[in-house]
Each structure stands twice: as C-alpha cells, then as structure tokens.
Amino acid sequence: MADTIKYLLPEEQIPKFWYNLMADLPSPPPPPLHPGTLQPLGPDDLAPLFPMSLIMQEVSAEREIEIPAPVREIYKQWRPSPLFRARRLEKALDTPAKIYYKYEGVSPAGSHKPNTAVAQAFYNHEAGIRKISTETGAGQWGSSLAFAGALFGIEVQVFMVKVSYQQKPYRRALMETYGARCIASPSMETNVGRAILAKSPDSSGSLGIAISEAVEVAASRDDTKYALGSVLNHVLLHQTVVGQEAMKQMEMAGDDPDIIIACTGGGSNFAGIVFPFLGAQLRGGRKRRIIAIEPAACPSLTKGKYAYDFGDTGHLTPLVKMHTLGSTFIPPAFHAGGLRYHGMAPLVSHIKDLGLIEARAYRQTEVFEAGVQFARCEGIVPAPEANHAVKGAIDEALKCKQDGKSRTILFNLCGHGHFDMQAYTDYFAGKLTDRSYEEGDLAMALAGLPSVPA
C-alpha cells in the first residue's frame, strides 16, 4: 500500500521572520482611502482600531519582519505544521501527479487562523490593551482569537453572524470554553446593530454587519481595540509562516511544486502559502501556476469588480481597492462560512490584477464530494473552506492523468471540519444545494459601489 508521507521540520526551523510580499512587487497596491476625504489613509487614521505596531506592519515595505520571541514560543505548540504527500489519494485517483498538502488543522483552534491571532494578541498585550472586539462568520477566526486572548489575559468579544450563531452552537461553545464572550450579530449592543434590527428585526446577519459592530465597539471605547482575521496586509503577513515552512518541506521531499492551490475568502489562507513562493518568483525564481479557489456562490475574484469599496456593510471602514461583489451583497447560505465575504484582500486583488495568479470558482456539492474522497484516503476530514482547495488539487491531478504528465501539486489544507459535521450530514442526506446568488442582486450591489475619482 502506498502510504501518506509526512515531512516535519525541527522546531528551530519555525520561521524567524514574516515575509512581506510588498517588498518584491513590481508596483505597490493602490492605497486605502479615508472614506470621508478620499485621501490616502495615514497611520494615525487607524490608531483608534489597532496598536501602532500592527499599523506599522500594515504599511511596511520591509521584506522581512521579525517574529517576536514570545510569538514563536507559542507557535511551537503546533508549528512547524506537517506537510504530507497524499500518496493514498494519488493512488485512488490513479494519477501520475504528486499531491502535497500543508496541514494547518493541527493548531489548537483547528485552522491557520491562530498564526495571526497569537501575533495580534501579543501586540495588543504589549500595547497594554485588555479588550479586543472582533467578528466571526463560520467561527474559525473567533475561536482562534479567543484562544490567543486566553493566553495573554485579553478579554475577547466576538460578534458572530447570527445565522452561524444559531446553526453552529459548537463553535460558540469553543469560544466560550476559551473564555470569550460571543454575541449574535446584528445585536442591540451597537448603533449599527440597533439600526439594522429596527429595520429588519429578523435579520440573520452577515460578515459585513458583524465587522461594522466590532469596529464600532473598538472605535467608541478607549479600552478596546479591534482585530480582523483576514483581508489586511498585516494579517496576510502573519500567515506567511505557512508558505515559508512549506518551501523548506518541499525541499526535504526533494520536490518543487508546479502548481500551488488555496481557497480564498478574505485571502489570508491563500496569501499564507502563496506569498513566499511568489516572492521567490518575483526575485527571479521559477514561475509556478498559482490558483485561488473560491465558492461559486460568492465569487469576488471571478465575478467581482476590481474597485474601491468598503470592507463592511455599515461603511465604517476605510475604502480599499479590491475585487468586490459590493458591500451590500449578501451571498446565499452555504457551509463554507469563512468564504462568505463580499471582498478580497487588497494584496491578493492586486496580484490577480497583475496577472500573477489564476482564480476559479466551484459549487458547493462538488467540493464536498472532493472532501469526502479526501477523507477516505487521507483520514483528515477537511473544513468546508478547505474542500475548495481539495477539489482544485484533485482536478489538476486528474488533468495530469488526462495529459499523461506528472506535475507536482501543493495545496493548503487550512483546517479540519470537526465543527462542520452538519455540512457533511447535509451532504450525505442530499440536502446540500448549489444555490447561486441572483444576478440582479449582484448587479445592484455593484451599482452601489462608492464613486472614487481615478
């Protein structure tokens, strides 16, 4: 029997620096704008929301940013994360392709999110902050920040999209086990929430609304800062430990990826595995195919417009240039809650615009079919988000079979699906739908994009 091979780095090889793609880009991404003045944002504009150390990372163009020793110490609990060669899956697919996956589900919260949650909690702690507000969709980010907050004695308050709050009680239980407070959004605790509930008492919420609530709390209270789990430059930066480790592990395996695949919601998981490889390419290294996979029901990269937009529904955030479906776009319900965001990280949008990456959208049922096949071969049950990358890898491997060519495929398995088993239950019961958004809704949301002079 061909068996899965594990490539594990020694602890000393946890990266000592985060890698900043900004340093190697042929052109910088367009700057974020102040929503009132439409002028480029300065660091001070963000000071109510973030500690200055994170703001400086947000605007840094340094290639390497040192990872503080206490953050590396905490990383050691689960890092370096394993890289696997999926030989049992290769065999089941009868493909000449070699399939590798980096597995981030080994973190205590079960996904890649603690890579940045720990860093953000550390910098907030260093700045004397005792409370952080944030939002969460599926709950991966909320539980990761809850975990990190517990380590640094920081109170964490999580606005959880109401439909997830109701449908995913166990993610909420996880956050509460870590000591965080979890609030269904929209809530009566903020102006944004109250206004929405006054108009729509039955609102089931959205990530855009939850962001508005969390931002409002942080902006209006001196003792509270805000934390975001994706999209922003500094969040993507922290995830680059993933790709840096994967590069070393591919070397250990004596191999080199021809194709790199990751799912994209806000972009941090994708950036984590891709940016270090892309940086090497931009510095004159080998060119690889890089594929971002997104859900067909929320396809910012494949159907969105590359334009300035708000990051939230309440329009409290700066304007950022990104691939967006419009901040009023509400995607239909599907299980990969971490991919239900109307926009995309500005940095990921920028490299898409530069033609450095491809993007592809998949429907819900086909990604679960791929996830089940993966679980039966490899033993790990992927999160619904990760199933998008699994499907991408399987499709590329089958293409190799068709072409009679062996290519090396690397994808990021960003988390396990232990808290998402309802999705698998629905899949087996034939209850998963491939419901798409209404074309008219998307057109209306795009028509409502803020007008920003070029």
Positions 106 through 125 that interact with a second copy (CB under 8 A): 106, 108-110
Place of tokens 């209006």: 220
| Nearest to a second copy of 56, 106 (CB atom) | 106
The answer to the question of residue 372 lying near a second copy (CB under 8 A) is: yes
CA 250/CA 227 separation, integer angstroms:
32
CA 387/CA 164 separation, integer angstroms:
19
3-state helix, strand, coil in the chain (%, to 5): 45, 20, 40
Positions 76 through 105 that interact with a second copy (CB under 8 A): 76-77, 84, 88
The answer to the question of residue 369 lying near a second copy (CB under 8 A) is: no
| Nearest to a second copy of 88, 131 (CB atom) | 88
The answer to the question of residue 8 lying near a second copy (CB under 8 A) is: yes
| Nearest to a second copy of 172, 352 (CB atom) | 172
Look up residue 416 and give its DSSP letter.
Answer: B
* CB 1, min distance to a second copy, A: 6
Among 62, 64, 66, 73, the residue binding a second copy under the rule CB under 8 A is 73
- Residue 300: left (phi > 0), alpha (psi -120 to 50), or beta? alpha
The answer to the question of residue 179 lying near a second copy (CB under 8 A) is: yes
The answer to the question of residue 215 lying near a second copy (CB under 8 A) is: no
| Nearest to a second copy of 89, 292 (CB atom) | 89
* CB 110, min distance to a second copy, A: 7
Whether the Cβ atoms of residue 189 and residue 213 lie closer than 8 Å to each other = yes
Among 173, 219, 280, 333, the residue binding a second copy under the rule CB under 8 A is 173
| Nearest to a second copy of 362, 368 (CB atom) | 368
The answer to the question of residue 151 lying near a second copy (CB under 8 A) is: yes
The answer to the question of residue 406 lying near a second copy (CB under 8 A) is: no
Q: How far is CA 337 from CA 23, 93, 191, 229, in A?
A: 32, 28, 25, 13
Token code pair at residue 8 = 């594990």
Which residue intervals of 200-304 are DSSP H helices?
A: 207-220, 233-252, 268-282, 300-303
116-119 long-range contacts, Cβ below 8 Å, gap at least 24?
116/144, 116/229, 116/234, 116/235, 116/238, 116/239, 116/268, 117/141, 117/144, 117/145, 117/147, 117/148, 117/227, 117/229, 118/71, 118/74, 118/75, 118/148, 118/151, 119/67, 119/68, 119/71, 119/238
Positions 10 through 39 that interact with a second copy (CB under 8 A): 11
Positions 418 through 447 that interact with a second copy (CB under 8 A): 418-419, 421-422, 424-425, 428
| Nearest to a second copy of 29, 110 (CB atom) | 110
Note the residues at the interface with a second copy (CB under 8 A).
1, 3-6, 8, 11, 70, 73-74, 76-77, 84, 88, 106, 108-110, 147, 150-152, 169-170, 172-174, 176-179, 372, 375-381, 416, 418-419, 421-422, 424-425, 428
